[in-house]
Structure 1
Amino acid sequence: MALAIMGSGGDAPGMNAAVKKFVDYLYDRGETPHLIYDGLEGLIDGKIKKAEHKDVAGILHRGGCVIRSSRSKRFYDYEYRKQAYENLQKNGIDGLVVLGGDGSFRAMDVFSKEFPVNFVGIPTTIDNDIYGTDYCLGVDTALNTIRDALDKIYDTASTFNRAFVVEVMGRECGYLAVISAMGSGAEVCVIPEVAFNRPVAEARLKREIANGRNYILAIVAEGTKKTQEIAEWIEKDLGFETRVTVLGHIQRGGAPSSYDRLMAFEFAVRAVDHLLESQRSNKVVVYQNGHFDLLEIDTVVSNKYQLNPRHLAMLNILD
């Protein structure tokens, strides 16, 4: 069989590890791997190439994605989706592995309903906002990048008696903010899923300041759009000189952690195994409660990811 792999949407650490394992594992199985360059745009334009070992040599430790990715407005048009399908046929592609997030899977859901596309998705997004999986590829590396930045910011905050408001990524999901706040001991965490209880937080911080607290670290998820508001509140009402740091796209880059490399291998092997064994598949590989499984694409895209309530309780974020 001939299978192809592509990236779609935002990049995440571990994509190259998944691409490498996909190619190497297919050759081990005696099958033919193909690479699709530039994501959905490349699929539309026919940027499909039979993979050789040299194409994936030395990429395991690299961040980003060597086959690149894209967000495609053209893919919303049926005629371009038809063109994409015809390109798969021209290259004899029997199955497709897609490294992507929620938007990518929604696109593939439409695509696979219109054309007989045999595809398996690998949840790949640092936002960790895909329904049905506890873990998405790239999350561990992103969390370690954030942790490193927060540790350094804490050094400055405690030295100069300042407050720092740090904005992290995650779109409309507060996962990165919650886990980073837990791991850094942040005093404030603001996420989209739960309304920030400012009076309660203010009363608690004022008690701590009266008892000697001389710095504050606040983690704000980008989806709240409250970064500046929180900074102004801390400076005005709590009396701390306050600095804002937006971590931005450094959270997506960098060499993948050992855990993300391992997860990339596991995701890729399970995606390939399923495609080789199934004549018709519209699945997403998921990781739940320490085990890998496959969910129907309809189930994944029709439900919304929920934060773990235990994590929210640990932060007292439900008060």
Structure 2
Amino acid sequence: MKQNIAILCSGGDVSGMNPALKRFVEYSLQNNLTPYFVYDGYEGLIDNNIQKASYCDVSGIINRGGTKIGSARSKRFMQVEYRNIAKQNLDALHVTMLIVLGGDGSFRGLHQFYKEHNIKFCGVPSTIDNDISGTDYCLGVDTALNMIKFSIDSIRDTASSFKRAFVIETMGNKCGYLALVSHLTSGSELCLIPETAYNLNEYEQKFKQEIQNGRRYFIAVVAEGIKEDSKEIARWFEEKIGIESRVNVLGHLQRGGNPTVKDRLMAYKFITYAIDALLDNKNETIVCYTKEGFRYKEINAVVNTPYQLDEELIKFINSPKATE
């Protein structure tokens, strides 16, 4: 008798979810499993918006951002009565295995669901914030970084033309990963992230000296979770450095876009490892990607361990020094 397996997307969407859905259907059928899509995340589990999936459902979606089956943040799933309904809906379809593409909050809900109903699951880290403990990489991050790269490169053109400072704000909540990596790979002059203390006064002499030596523009990349508002940073450039400034909040464009080759490949691998875990009776794990490769980690360790940004990356932020 075939086993039934379902997949859902929870929380913020990322580019890479559609390639993951494609691999999910194909690899499930390859392993004699019947695949089901849960539409609109945990809300779909509660509302019984669960449908059998086939090759036709994933044809032509590998190059599309977002997620064909929708995503959501579900307050109802936090309540035990709605989790009971979700379990009843899965039981009615004889779904015994569940894969969840999501972030830390999604995994916390999944952990509670497992403790109450013991349904086999595997989580795939999927958030552009890249802030899940235990994994060095989350699905969607590379595409987000490339969207930011394109934006910064475009903004630099106008910044240099008009002698301006641009403060570019990235997503990341309280995690500065996107801002830091974008700073290191874009050649920006200033990077501010929640993980490191900073004093803008320390940059004044250096930046003023650079203007005297011919610098025409500045690019500052800041994470949304820093203590100052981006407008305050722009005001600092105008009042202290003496250069006209603009703020560009990149916002949700970071989540969209054509999935990069890396995210398509990572989606393929993440889903393959997830299904293999369930078939191997690993019943409550998260697929993590580390310097040692793919590893399975218990969900309890993942959701109960605070995320920490790579110290090596943080060290790459140079202290401001005035030019001789």
Structure 2-normalised TM-score?
0.96
Residue 265 (structure 1) aligns with:
268
Cα distance in 1, alignment partners of residues 314 and 47 from structure 2: 45
Three-state SS of the structure 2 residue aligned to 1:223 is coil
Instruction: Tell me, yes or no, if the aligned pair for 1:8 and 1:70 is still in contact at 8 Å.
Output: yes
Residue type of the alignment partner of 2:254 = Q
CA positional deviation for 1:183: 0.8
CA positional deviation for 1:215: 0.7
1:131 is aligned to 2:133: yes
Three-state SS of the structure 2 residue aligned to 1:103 is helix
1:315 is aligned to 2:317: yes
- Taking the TM superposition and a 5 Å limit, the aligned residue runs for 1:155-174 are 155-174=157-176
CA positional deviation for 1:226: 2.4
1:237 is aligned to 2:240: yes
Cα distance in 2, alignment partners of residues 309 and 272 from structure 1: 32
Residue 303 (structure 1) aligns with:
305
Residue 256 (structure 1) aligns with:
259
Structure 1: runs of 5 or more not aligned: none
Residue type of the alignment partner of 1:270 = Y
1:62 is aligned to 2:64: yes
Task: Give the counterpart of 1:213 among 212, 215, 227.
Answer: 215
Residue 275 (structure 1) aligns with:
278
Residue 37 (structure 1) aligns with:
39
Supply the RMSD in Å over aligned alpha carbons. Answer: 1.3
Residue type of the alignment partner of 2:140 = G
Cα distance in 1, alignment partners of residues 106 and 260 from structure 2: 24
Count of matched residue positions in the alignment of Structure 1 and Structure 2: 318
Distance 1:105 1:237, change over 3 A: same
305-314 vs 91-100, greater mean Cα deviation? 305-314
Cα distance in 1, alignment partners of residues 116 and 30 from structure 2: 32
Residue 184 (structure 2) aligns with:
182
Cα distance in 1, alignment partners of residues 306 and 78 from structure 2: 22
Cα distance in 2, alignment partners of residues 62 and 88 from structure 1: 28
Cα offsets for 1:271-307 (capped at 9, x unmatched): 00111110x6111000000500110001111112211
Cα distance in 2, alignment partners of residues 72 and 126 from structure 1: 19
Cα distance in 2, alignment partners of residues 95 and 200 from structure 1: 54
Structure 1-normalised TM-score?
0.97
Amino-acid identity (%): 52
Cα offsets for 1:79-124 (capped at 9, x unmatched): 0011111111111111100000011011111111111111100000
Residue 20 (structure 2) aligns with:
18
